Structure 1
Amino acid sequence: MGWKLKVAGYGKIESAEIEMAPLTLFVGDNNSGKSYLMSLLWGILNLEEVFAGTGSALETEAEEWLLHWVKEQMETAREQGGHTVQASEIGSELQTVLQARIECHKDKLVKAIFNSADVDIKELQIELTGLDDISIGFRAKTSEDKIIFSIRLGNDAKGYVTYFSEKGRMSEDLDESDWDFFVNNIFRFLLNEGRLRTLNKCIYLPAARTGFMLTKDVINKVGRRAAFNIGIETEPLPPFVRPINQFLDVINDLTLDGESNENFAEIVEYLESGMADGTVEMSSLPNKEVTYVPNGKTTGMSLRTVSAVVTELSPLILILKHKKNVGALFYEEPEMCLHPQLQQKMARVLCRLVNAGVQMNVTTHSDIILQHINNMIRLSGREDREEICHQLRYDSRDLLWSEEVKVYQLRAEAGEKTKVEELSCGKNGFAVPTFNDALDRIMDEAYVIQE
């Protein structure tokens, strides 16, 4: 299961072809478009614009055929109780309809991501892959004079999306918009790797997260004043891009029921004890103030008074502690404010998150993070890996396999469009020319200066 993203004429990016993996790294020059690519991938998984299907602009033969096909499957499910087909049976129609919808809405999608009409995109394509391995299940059952229609992908019963019909006869209950509801969710399942898409499950951590953590209360206060106070003259404020708005919403809406998310308990322990030297807590009071409790202390400190490493790590710690559904993280520059020793530890956190089932999409300038990932790929392929893991205090949760990682390098020459290149994985991992070139230059200068 999977999909490929193809873009052209997108901001500074000339063209790119991206296939997401459990760990996808974007490396390369500053101001080359790494965040643009990450934001677009995030938007496809989070925003409705890419799926919208009804309307005269999309009344194509393929669209009508697919809507009719879904209706037929539901009719069969109503007669049999349940019905399953392979996605590959309608792969061509799915691809045609999805691309038509994307072509119709791509400008709206980009505008929604950036809250601006200033970002252009010439071409946007999504190529569905792996449909031979995907089944689409339909079911229908009667309950309390209602017919309940559901769809799912794969065999996970939790993956059902359900529509409740009130009258009991399908032909009287459902119209084109209802069938389109099911088609939309088929696409959502396909793009979310067969998982049920839930609100804010794919979370963006922007590079400016320290500033937002320190000012989130002020931002919320300003927002409330603008929204709820009538007659107060205020200058219009330029909106944040949508990923930043989501980040602020996620932090503000974290569940505080006294129980941590046990799925990530060991990773949180490693972040707090091994990197932050203390715990990060959020108040259950309405202001939801974030505090830091140093190891050995019983009282907390405001984030405004602690080191940058704590403020950088705090949003990740809080999300892993309290967010109940984390399907993917879009993490900009996780090395921010981290000493090289802590950069290696952060790389270990990234590996462990991948092995905990979180899809990781990362922009980075850190050759240390990349080298640790390379080491874990190389170690996973060694026959004596258990012995080396014991020696270095690693275990299977730290290892990565080459097929789980994709690395894309963005290189921008002065005045030219960015070129995006997928880097291949060799025996010892990934070699990044933009990293190596910079290291070579500084070493060459050192030889000249120190001879």
Structure 2
Amino acid sequence: APYVDAPRVVFRDFGPFRYAEVELMPLTLFVGRNSAGKSLILQMLWVLLTTSPVPPSPVPSAAGGRFSAAPGEVRAVHTSRFIEEVKEGRIDAELFRRAVLEALEPVGEVWRGLMEERIREVFLREPRELVRLGASEAMIEVRTSCGSYAIGIAAGGGVRVNLTPFYQSFAAMLEGVEISAVRPGVISLKWGERTRVTNVEGLDDMARIAGEIFGWYLADRCGGSPLIPLIPTGLILWAYLPDSRSGLMSVLQIYPGQQLRSVYSDFYELMKRMSPLIGRGISDVVGRISDFTKEFYVRNVDVDEAGRFYVEFLNGVRIPLGLAPSGVRESLLLALLLSLPGAPLYVLVEEPEAHLHPRAVVKLAELIAKAVNGGKRVVISTHSDFLLYKLNNLLMRSKAEKEGDAALSPNDVAVYLVKWVEDGSVVERLHVDEGGLHEEEFLEVTRELFEEESRLLDAVQKAAG
């Protein structure tokens, strides 16, 4: 289902960025020269997408009159009073709301610890190393239609989170939850069409109730929006395809037990988790990408019982994906994920054009557009002028032809130029409309090459007399 909003992420003093703001549209592209910070942004987005408490409940269990949250804890003052009143058959709606917020309070500390560890896992660095040189703290703020939150990374060490704005939005929702006493020790909850009758005997019950109501809020108000904290997630919902995929496939083929880290470990886990889903509908998925696979003379793709991918070429040769040509290793899984209905909902990919012939890049751009129109959200970093030119044509098609699942609406696309300035990097949003996207970076290089060619031709003609 389409997301209800396009989250905004603001980076302050993060990496080379003094300030950068991005809006995650259904298709978001980052372009620009090497080493400007595109991958850094994608990797931080990946951290935000995949940092979450373990399901089924985001609320820590309670013990000894407190809600535990290592290394801190919160005394359950309001909750204890509410439980005693319920046992007597009395209901105080305001006390109930305070008890729910009290039960959720420790989650921030749990999430902070998970965020700190996830940053280490993805970046293979201490969080403090991501703070811009000379700054005291990096800030990452996430703004969505159902709440905002912020993450601070101190240059001296440590990570903090501020969920207060997010909880304020949730607290407003709590005002609409109707609560009544069924009998002593049992309450009834109603919010819209949702109802619940439940026992309230101790802190664990209140932790469970708070988690369930919070789930109502996330499901109804957030509409599946990404980058929301505390939603139990898994790699099967989001996919990150890092650079060097071709080489990684070969390494995994030769050394199947190789220990991986960072986004490469996530990529390997993604392959293992997605292979059964792809395998069950492989014929349909392969059919959807046939125009793309023809560029590699690939006739078929299949998955064996162990979840390993195999590629069959037009001459009948069938080999493991890890032994296939570099372009196939680099792009086949991406094409399959883009064309698979449903999960993954978000696909982040670095340099999708790597190892591809320009015609294959053009076909891949069409798959990206179809995936976006089918409800997926795609975030890309690229250096490919062919990819941008084709996406440009697909934007123009939305006005010229109005039909076709590969046409792109400019309302669904954001393009950001990431570039070096004197004291770091900046992110500049480029104009996108029905006339296409307006990106001068690659055109400038084309002009320089043309001018160089003209000078050389003149020199050759003069030398020839």
Report the TM-score, using the length of structure 1 for normalisation: 0.69
CA distance in 2, matches of 1:49, 1:171: 22
Q: 1:375 aligns with which of 381, 384, 393?
A: 393
What residue number does 1:111 align with? 120
In structure 1, list runs of 5 or more residues that go unmatched.
76-95, 141-146, 224-238, 387-394
Q: 2:292 aligns with which of 238, 262, 271?
A: 271
What does residue range 268-347 of structure 1 map to in structure 2 within 5 Å? 268-285=289-306, 288-297=307-316, 299-303=317-321, 305-319=323-337, 325-347=343-365
CA distance in 2, matches of 1:409, 1:15: 14
What residue number does 2:384 align with? 366
SS at structure 2 position matched to 1:381: helix
Give a deviation string over 1:42-74, Cα, whole Å, max 9, x none: 2111112799997499999xxx99x98xx99xx
* 2:344 partner letter: V
What residue number does 2:153 align with? none
User: In the TM superposition, what is the alpha-carbon distance from 1:362 to its structure 2 partner?
Assistant: 0.6
CA distance in 1, matches of 2:344, 2:189: 24
Q: Does 1:251 align with 2:274?
A: no
Cα pair distance change 1:324/1:429, threshold 3 Å: closer
Going by fraction, where is helix more abundant, 1 or 2? 1
* 1:208 partner letter: S
User: In the TM superposition, what is the alpha-carbon distance from 1:101 to its structure 2 partner?
Assistant: 9.3
CA distance in 2, matches of 1:5, 1:101: 22
Report the TM-score, using the length of structure 2 for normalisation: 0.67
* 1:362 partner letter: I
CA distance in 2, matches of 1:218, 1:450: 49
What residue number does 2:430 align with? 423
Q: 1:15 aligns with which of 16, 19, 41?
A: 19
CA distance in 1, matches of 2:141, 2:264: 25
What does residue range 92-241 of structure 1 map to in structure 2 within 5 Å? 107-117=116-126, 119-121=129-131, 122-129=138-145, 168-169=199-200, 173-176=204-207, 179=210, 183=214, 186=217, 190=222, 192-193=224-225, 198-200=233-235, 201-218=237-254, 220-223=256-259, 240-241=261-262
CA distance in 1, matches of 2:112, 2:30: 25
| Percent identity (aligned) | 19
CA distance in 2, matches of 1:401, 1:361: 16
CA contact 1:261–1:324 (8 Å) conserved in 2? no
CA contact 1:99–1:125 (8 Å) conserved in 2? no
* 1:207 partner letter: D
Q: Does 1:402 align with 2:400?
A: no
Moved more, 10-19 or 360-369: 10-19
CA contact 2:311–2:318 (8 Å) conserved in 1? yes
User: In the TM superposition, what is the alpha-carbon distance from 1:264 to its structure 2 partner?
Assistant: 4.8
Q: 1:5 aligns with which of 3, 9, 13?
A: 9
CA distance in 2, matches of 1:283, 1:262: 13
Structure ID, larger Rg = 2
CA distance in 2, matches of 1:193, 1:267: 27
In structure 2, list runs of 5 or more residues that go unmatched.
61-67, 87-104, 132-137, 148-168, 180-185, 459-465
CA contact 1:49–1:108 (8 Å) conserved in 2? no
User: In the TM superposition, what is the alpha-carbon distance from 1:4 to its structure 2 partner?
Assistant: 1.0
User: In the TM superposition, what is the alpha-carbon distance from 1:252 to its structure 2 partner?
Assistant: 2.1
User: In the TM superposition, what is the alpha-carbon distance from 1:317 to its structure 2 partner?
Assistant: 4.3
Cα pair distance change 1:183/1:108, threshold 3 Å: farther
Q: CA RMSD in A?
A: 4.6
CA contact 1:251–1:319 (8 Å) conserved in 2? no
* 1:117 partner letter: E
Cα pair distance change 1:139/1:330, threshold 3 Å: farther
User: In the TM superposition, what is the alpha-carbon distance from 1:36 to its structure 2 partner?
Assistant: 0.9
User: In the TM superposition, what is the alpha-carbon distance from 1:249 to its structure 2 partner?
Assistant: 0.5
User: In the TM superposition, what is the alpha-carbon distance from 1:276 to its structure 2 partner?
Assistant: 5.0
User: In the TM superposition, what is the alpha-carbon distance from 1:176 to its structure 2 partner?
Assistant: 4.6
CA contact 1:292–1:302 (8 Å) conserved in 2? yes
CA distance in 2, matches of 1:404, 1:321: 18
CA contact 1:261–1:323 (8 Å) conserved in 2? no
Q: Does 1:449 align with 2:449?
A: no
Cα pair distance change 1:221/1:100, threshold 3 Å: closer
SS at structure 1 position matched to 2:289: helix
CA distance in 2, matches of 1:437, 1:99: 47
User: In the TM superposition, what is the alpha-carbon distance from 1:209 to its structure 2 partner?
Assistant: 0.8
CA distance in 2, matches of 1:204, 1:300: 27
